[in-house]
Structure 1
Amino acid sequence: ISARKRAEAQLRKLSLAVEHSPAAIVITDVNAVIEYVNPKFYQLTGFTPEEVLGRTPKILQSGLTPAETYQALWETLMAGEEWHGEFHDRKKNGQIYWCLQSISPVKNESGEITHFVSVTEDISERKHSESVIRHLAFYDPLTELPNRTLFRDRLEQAAAFAQRNERLFAVMYLDLDRFKTINDTLGHPVGDLLLKAVAERMRQGLRDTDTIARLGGDEFAVIVQDMCSPEDALRLAEHLLQAFAAPFFIESHELFTTPSIGISIYPQDTTDIDALIKVADIALYRAKELGRNNCQFFTADMNVTALEHLFIENQLQHVLERNELVLYYQPQISLGSGAICGVEALARWRHPELGMVSPGAFIPIAEDSGLIVPIGKWVLREACKANKAWLDLGLPEMLVAVNVSAKQLRQKDFVDTVAAVLEETGLPSYLLEIELTESCVMQNPEQAITILEELKAMGVKLAMDDFGTGYSSLTYLKRLPFDKIKIDRSFVIDLGTDTDAAAIAHTIIAMAHGMHRIAIAEGVETAEQLDFLHSEGCDEIQGYYFSQPLEDAGLVRYVKGWGWSAQHLPA
C-alpha cells in the first residue's frame, strides 16, 4: 500500500509540475491527435483545451514554416529520437509567433511509440531582437539603405554572377558636393533629413535590380547589374545627376546639393573586388577635381595620378618630424612709400628623393587629408618667429602674411592657437596678417565673421586672398573685417592685353577703396602691369617684378639692400 501511495504522490508531483510549467506542454497519441494541453498552452496560443483536444497541432500552422521542417521532424520522431527546432506558428487570434519546440517520443514496455510529448517556448521577443540586431548589422539606421558590410556582400554576389554568366556590372561611388557646408550651417538634424531625402530620391532614380548603399557620412555606392555595355552605367549616372537638379525642401529650407560620381566596370577595369572599389573611388576624386556635379569613368591615367597622390600623402605624414618643410618669403611693396611693407610666407617642401616640391603639388593633398592643420600651425609659428628675429636684427617693421585654410579656420582652438603663437614668439600682433581665400570664408560666413572679429580684436591684420575667383556675397564682404583685398594673379597676368582683366582689376581696386580697404595685387611680373596698377591707385604690389620668394637669409639681404622708390613710376 505504501508503495502505491508513493507512486500516487509521485504522479501528483509530476502532474502539478506539468500543470504549472512555464512552457506549453502538449501530449498527442502516435497519430498526433492531441490528448492533453497544459494551462500555459492556452496562455500562449489562445486555444482552450476543449478547442484542441481530439485535433492535431496542424491547427497552429501558419504556412510560414517550410515543409522540409515538418518532414525532418517526422523522420526523426519515427526513428525514436528527440526533435528540436523552431516553428513560425499562428495563434487563435491570427497573430504570428515564433516558438522553440522539443518533441520526444514516448514508448511502452515493448519499445513501441505510443505518444509524443512536446515542450514549447515562445521566442518571439528573441527573434525580434535578433532581427533588429541583424538589421543594424547590415543596414544604415538613418536611411535604411544597405551599409558597407551588406554592400560588400552584394558586390561579391554580383561578381560571382557576372563571372558565371560572362556579364558586366558597374560600381558607382557618389558623394554630395558641399554637404559639409549645409551640415555645419544648418545643423546635423537638417543634414540628416537631407541624407534621408537623398536616399529616397536615389531609390526612385534607380532600378529595383540595383543596390544602393550608404557607406557613411555623405558617401553612397551603387551596384549596377544587368548591363549590356558601360554606356548603361553612364546613362544611369546621368539620370541621377538630373534627379538632383530639383531642390530638396527640408523643414523651412530650400536646399540644393549635387553629386559627384565615380564609375568602375567589372571586368573591364578589374576583377578584384577591393580594386574595383578603389578605382571607383579614384574616379570619384577625379569627378570632384573637374568641378563636381559630374560623373567620371575610371582610366589608367587616373590610377597613376592616384598612386602619386598616395605617395605624397604618405610622405607628408613625416614632413614635420623630418624637418623637410622650409619657408620662403615674397616681399610686398607699398606703391605709396616705396617701402617693403610686408612679406608673404610660402611653404616649400624639400623632399630627399623628389627634390623641391611645389605648394601646388602638396598643399591640396594636405588639405584633403587634414594634414594641413599641423602643417599650418608649423607655418604660423615659424613665420612669426622669423619676423620677430628680423625685428631683433634691426630690420624695419613688416607684416608677415600667413595663408590659412578652411580646415584650419574650422578648428575650435584656432584663435587660441594664434594668440599662443604670438605670445610664444613675442611678435606684436599688428605685424601678423592672416590670409584667407573667398571660398574658405564663404563655406560658413557667419562662423568666419565671428572668428575674424576675434582675431581683429587681438590686433591681427586680415587679408582676403584670390579675390574675384570665389563666390563672395557683397553683403558678407561688407561685414567681413578684412584690412586688405588681394587681386588674384589670374586678373593681373593679362593686364595690358585684355580689356576685361583691366576692367576687373579697376573694379576691385575701386571696391576696396570704397570699403576703406587696402588693395594689393599679386603676380606682378612686368613694368606694364605695375604701371597700370599704379595708375589705378593700387596700394601694394607683390610679384616677380620685384622679387621671387626668398629664404630667410636671402630676404634679410634683400631688405637691407632695398633702394627702390615709387618715384620711378610714371606720374
Structure 2
Amino acid sequence: MATDNAKSLPTGHYVTNDPLHQLFDAIDSISVQGYDEQRQVTYWNKGSEILYGYTKQEAMGKRLESLIIPEPMQEPVIKAHSDWVTLGIEIPAAELTLSHKDGSEVAVFSSHVMLTNQYNAKQMYCIDIDLSDVHKAQAEATLNASMLQTIFEAIPDLFFVLDHHGTITDYHASNKNDLYISPEQFVGKKMVDVLPDKVAQMFKLNIEKALTYNEMVNFEYELSMPDGTSYYEARMRLLPKKNQIMMIIRDITDHHRSAELIRHQAHFDSLTALPNRFLSLDRLSQMLGSVKSKHEKAAVFFLDLDNFKKVNDSLGHEVGDKLLIEAACRLKNVLEQGDTIGRLGGDEFIILISNLNDESNAKAITERLLNAFRKPFRLEGRELILTLSIGIAMSPKDGTSASELLRNSDTAMYQAKALGRNTSSFFTPQMNTAMQRRFEIEEQMRGALAKSEFEVYYQPQIDVQTNTLIGAEALLRWHNNKLGAITPDEFIPIAEQTGLIIPIGEFVMKQALLFLKRWQATNKQKYTMAVNLSPSQFRDPELLDMIIHSLNENNINHECLELEITEGVLMNSQDSIPDALKRIGELGIKLSMDDFGTGYSSLSYLRQYSFDVLKIDRSFISVITDNKANCNLVKAAIAMSHSLEIEVVAEGVETKEQLDLLNALDCDIAQGFYLSKPLPAEQMIAFSLE
C-alpha cells in the first residue's frame, strides 16, 4: 500500500506507515481516513467505505471537504485543518454530523491525530466512530420514557409500590377521586391496615403469595364507594432486586356489570324476559332429578301460538313482538309460584310443572291456558284472536330425560295442530309412528342421490292463446327400494330441513338443463324450462355460479331458464337476497313467483322485485268455474300482472272449461293434468298436443 500511495503522489514526500495501516485495515467497525497538508485523502480504510459510502478508489486524492463535510461546515473545517498544520492548534475530538455519499446524515464521534513523516510532511488521521445506533438508542430511551409517562397519565389504573412488609411506599393515580382514601391516609402505612377487614384479609394472603412464589398474583374484590359498590382487580408481583412489590389496581365495575348482563342474556329471552331455551332445559333436567328422588310426576307443556306467522308477516314484526310479550304475560298469570315458563324461540313456549298427581291435574292446567287466550288481544287499535296448540308429555310415563320429554311434548303439540288448533293433546306412543316415518325418509334420502333413485319429470306448459307447447316445469320424483314411491310433499320439506335440498336441487338443475339442450335440439324449438328453488337453495352462495356454469356448459340461452321462487325465499332477512335477484335479472334469466295468492305479502314483493312470470296457485284455478267471485279473483290477478308486464301461468288446470275460461280471461300459459301429467324425459321428448 505504501508503494501504491507513493506512486500516486509525484512529490514522493508521503510515506505511509504500513504496520499502522495494516491495523486499520483489519478493523472495519471504525472509520479511519488519512489526509495530507492540502486535505487530500491519502488513506481510506474499509470502515470508511462502510460508514460514508465512498470506495477507496473514489476517495483517494479527493479533498476532505468535497467528500464528507456538509457545506455549512466546510469553511470552519478548512480553517481548523490549516491552523493545526501551520499553528499547531489541535482539532478537538467532538460529535459531528457529516455527509454520506447518498446525501444522508452520518452522526460520528470524530477524533484526530497529526503525524510528521521522515520528509517533515504532516499527515492527519481522522478516526470516526458511528453514533447512529447510540443516537437511536438514546431517542428510543427518551421516547420510551415519554411514552411510559403518557401511559401512566392516560390509563385509569392505580399503581402502588409496597415494601416486603406490605407498607405503601409510593403510588400513582391519574384521578385521585378513584382512591378509596386520601394519600395522606395510606402512604407509609400497611395496605392491610387501610382497607375493610374482608378485603384486607384477601390482600394479606395474596401479598404473602407474591413474596413466597415470586410470580404474578391476581384476585378480585369489591369496595363500597361514595357512588355505590365498585369492583376491582388487583395484580401484584415481587421485584426481587429491590425487594418491593409492584401492585396495579383496575376498576372492573363496568366489566362486572357487563358480565352480569351477558349472563342474564345467556339465560333469559331478551323480548319476554322469560327463561330461554338453554335455561328452560336446564331447569327441566333439575326438575326431573327432583321428582325422581321424590317419586312424583311432572309434566312438560309444549305451546305454539296458532297462525302467529300470518299475523307477524301481515302486520309486521313490531306487532308480532308485542303479541309475544302479551302472550308471555298471560301465560305467567295462569301459572303458580314455582312453575317454570320459558320461551324456546319464535312463537314456541315451554311450561314445566312438578308435583302432579295424574293427567287430570295437567288437563286442568291446559284448560286454564287455553281459556287465557280466548280473550282478544288489543294492539294498535286492532282486536286479534290468537289461540294455542298445546302438547303434553308426562314423566315418568312419557320419558325420564329432558330431551325425550321435550321431543314427545313437541310431537303431541303437532298432533294438536292436526286436530284443528286451539286445543291440546297428550303424547301417545302412536304419535311416534309419524315421526318414525320421517326418520326413515331422512335416512333413505341421504343415499338416494348416490343410488340414482331420483328422477326429474317434466310437466308441459301450453300457450293458452295459440294452444302450442312452449316449455315445461321440472318436477322431482323419488322411488326408494325400501319405502317405495315417496311424494314431493312428503320428502321436500325434510330435504329442506336437513340441508339435503342443496345437492338435490343441484341435481335437478343440471338434469333439467341437460334435458332442455336435447329437447330443443330434437324438436328445433326454443323451449323454456322452469325450475323451483327452495329458500335453503337460494341462501347457497354458490347457487348462481352453478346455474351459470350449467347454462354455459349446455350452450343454453339464459332467457330459456325460469327460476321459480316462493314467498318463503323473499321473507328471508338476508341482505344478499335483493342482490341475488338483481343479478338474476341482469343475467337474463327469468324470475317467477310461484304459488301466488297463498302468501300475505305477495303484492308488495311484485312491486319490489322485477318478476317476469306469476304462477296462480292451483287452489284458485280449481274453483274458477264455480262462481263469479272466484273467476273475478283470477281475472284481477291476470289484469294486475299484465299491467306490470308480467306473464301469467295458471297451475292445476284439470278441465276443458277451466282452460276455455282462462283463454277468455287472457291468461298466457297453462299447465295441469288436463293438458298432461308430469312425464319422464323420453315421453316428454315425444309429447305432442295433437
TM-score (norm 2): 0.55
**1:269 CA drift (Å):** 3.6
Q: Which moved more, 1:269-278 or 1:456-465?
A: 269-278
Q: Distance in 1 between matches of 2:589 and 2:266?
A: 51
Q: Does 1:454 align with 2:583?
A: yes
Contact kept, 8 Å, 2:638 with 2:666, in 1: the verdict is yes
Quote the residue 1:172 is aligned against. 302
The AA in structure 2 aligned to 1:170 is V
Deviations 1:105-146 (A, max 9, x none): xxxxxxxxxxxxxxxxxxx999x89x9699579834857654
1:168–1:423 Cα change, 3 Å: same
The equivalent residue for 1:238 is: 370
CA contact 1:172–1:280 (8 Å) conserved in 2: yes
Aligned to 1:43: 194
What CA deviation, in whole Å up to 9, does each residue of 1:483-542 have, x standing for no partner? 222222222223444444333333333333333332222222222222222232222221
RCO greater where, 1 or 2, for CA within 8 Å and sep 6 or more? 1
**Does 2:644 align with 1:515?**
yes
2:675 match: secondary structure: coil
Query: Does residue 416 of structure 2 align to residue 265 of structure 1?
Result: no
Change (3 A) 1:248 1:504: closer
Taking the aligned partners of 2:312 and 2:289, their CA distance within structure 1 comes to: 40
1:210: which partner in 2? 339
Deviation at 1:475, TM superposition (A): 4.3
Q: 1:491 aligns with which of 611, 615, 620?
A: 620
In the alignment, the residues of structure 2 paired with residue 482 and residue 548 of structure 1 have an alpha-carbon distance, to the nearest angstrom, of 26
**How many pairs were matched up?**
461
The residue number in structure 2 matching 1:104 is: none
Relative to structure 1, the CA distance from residue 39 to residue 239 in structure 2 (aligned partners, 3 Å threshold; closer, same or farther) is farther
**Structure 1 residues 161 and 416: alpha-carbon distance in aligned structure 2, compared to 1, 3 A threshold:** same
Q: Separation in 2 of the partners of 1:301 and 1:258? A: 29
Over 3 Å counting, the alpha-carbon distance change for 1:258 and 1:403 in structure 2 is: farther
Deviations 1:61-91 (A, max 9, x none): xxxxxxxxxxxxxxxxxxxxxxxxxxx9999
**Is 1:353 matched up with 2:489?**
no
Q: Retained in 1: the 8 A contact 2:570–2:605? A: no
Residue identity matched to 1:169: A
C-alpha change, 1:17 and 1:125, in structure 2 (3 Å) is same
- Runs of at least 5 residues in structure 2 that lack an aligned partner in the other structure: 1-162, 169-188, 202-220, 232-250
Percent identity over paired residues? 31
In structure 2, C-alpha distance between the alignment counterparts of 1:381 and 1:476, rounded to whole Å:
28
Shift of 1:366: 1.8
Distance 1:149 1:479 in 2: 39
Matching residue within 640, 662, 682 for 1:533: 662
Match for 1:554: what amino acid? Q
Which residue in the other structure is 1:283 paired with?
412
Q: Which residue of 1 aligns with 2:108?
A: none
Quote how far apart the aligned CAs of 1:383 are.
1.1
Residue of structure 2 equivalent to 1:376: 505
The DSSP-based 3-state class of the residue aligned with 1:401 is: strand
Corresponding residue number in structure 2 for 1:114: none
Structure 1 residue 351: deviation in Å?
0.9
Larger radius of gyration: 2
Inter-CA distance 354–508: structure 2 relative to 1 (3 Å threshold): same
CA distance in 1, matches of 2:223, 2:371: 46
What do residues 248-304 of structure 1 show as CA deviations (whole Å, max 9, x unaligned)?
Answer: 99xxxx9x9979754223145444543211112223455677898876543444321
* Whole-Å separation in 1 of the counterparts to 2:302 and 2:548: 46
CA contact 2:300–2:406 (8 Å) conserved in 1 = no
In 2 relative to 1, CA 402–149 (structure 1 residues): closer, same or farther, beyond 3 Å?
Answer: closer
Partners of 1:89 and 1:454 lie apart in 2 by: 58
Cα distance in structure 2, aligned partners of 1:461 and 1:425: 17
* Cα displacement string for residues 208-235 of structure 1 (whole angstroms, at most 9, x for unaligned residues): 3222345567765321345562223324
- Aligned AA for 1:234? T
Question: Which of 593, 596, 599 is the aligned partner of 1:467?
Answer: 596
State the distance in 2 between where 1:330 and 1:495 align: 21
Deviations 1:28-69 (A, max 9, x none): xxxxxxxxxx9444333269x9xxxxxxx9xxxxxxxxxxxx
Change (3 A) 1:137 1:317: farther
User: 1:552, CA displacement in angstroms?
Assistant: 0.8
CA distance in 2: counterparts of 1:245 and 1:436, whole angstroms: 34
Query: Contact 1:205–1:243 at 8 Å: present in 2 too?
Result: no
Residue 532 of structure 2 is aligned to residue 403 of structure 1 = yes
Query: Match for 1:418: what amino acid?
Result: I
| CA RMSD in angstroms, aligned pairs only | 4.9
Structure 1 residue aligned with 2:96? none
Partner Cα distance (1:441, 1:125) in 2: 45
Give the superposition deviation at 1:402.
0.6
1:483–1:215 CA distance, 2 compared to 1 (3 A): closer
Determine whether 1:139 maps to 2:290.
no
